[in-house]
Structure 1
Amino acid sequence: MIIQYGQALSDYLYDVFVAKFDFWLAFGLVAQLFFTARFLVQWIASERAGNSVVPMAFWFCSMGGGLMTLTYGIAKREPIIILGQGLATVIYLRNIMLIWKNRGKGSQTLDR
């Protein structure tokens, strides 16, 4: 029984990641990695500062990864991705605008 589940999982993963591999799958994977990198950026900045901070690079990774994921969603006609990333991208852009606007006023975001 466990062997059957293992084989079914193996077949599924092969089908999803190997048999259907194309440009858009590679693009989507890179987009997701770029988006996920923002957490690594935030963690490293927080460790360096000794407290929880959100560096400017976090917002740029969010924006870049979000736009790439939105592009993927549009290309693949995925309404959930389009709605989620469309709204999120507006929020990322607004945060970047607020940081630039308040740059000299002691913003809570690091300029790294």
Structure 2
Amino acid sequence: MTRETLWLVIGFAGQAVFTGRFVLQWLYSEFKRRSVIPVGFWYLSMLGSALLLTYAIYRQDPVFIIGQGFGLLVYLRNLQLIARHQEQKE
């Protein structure tokens, strides 16, 4: 496998994980019969964004880097808020 092929695999894997979060949210909402965002959505968002950010850094694409970097912060913050809410419930 060439270096370029490896980076394409990382990029496509990131995109697949990132897309998977929407599939998860859709199926979970169908199961609950209402619009719901499961915690797994945020984990898939974070993983997909981290992979895509890594790929964007390799590609040296500042637009992609800023977009994925900011999104990563939002996903981390949402997970922090969820964890805080869970602690308050206990």
Cα distance in 1 for residues equivalent to 2:87 and 2:28: 20
Match of 2:69 in 1: 86
In 2, Cα distance between equivalents of 1:55 and 1:28: 25
What fraction of aligned residue pairs are identical, expressed as a percent? Answer: 41
Deviations 1:51-94 (A, max 9, x none): 00000000000000000000000111111110000000000000
CA distance in structure 2 between the partners assigned to 1:93 and 1:35 by the alignment: 15
What is the root-mean-square deviation of aligned Cα atoms in Å? 1.4
Q: How many residues matched?
A: 86
Alpha-carbon distance in 2 for matches of 1:45, 1:103: 20
Gaps of 5+ in 2: none
**Structure 1 unaligned residues grouped into runs of 5+:** 1-20, 107-112
Greater CA radius of gyration, 1 or 2?
1
Distance in 2, Cα, partners of 1:85 & 1:103: 27
Q: TM-score, normalised by structure 1?
A: 0.73
Superposed structure 1 runs of 4+ greater than 3 Å apart: none
Report the counterpart of residue 14 of structure 2 in structure 1: 31
| Secondary structure class of the residue paired with 2:35 | coil
The aligned amino acid for 2:14 is A
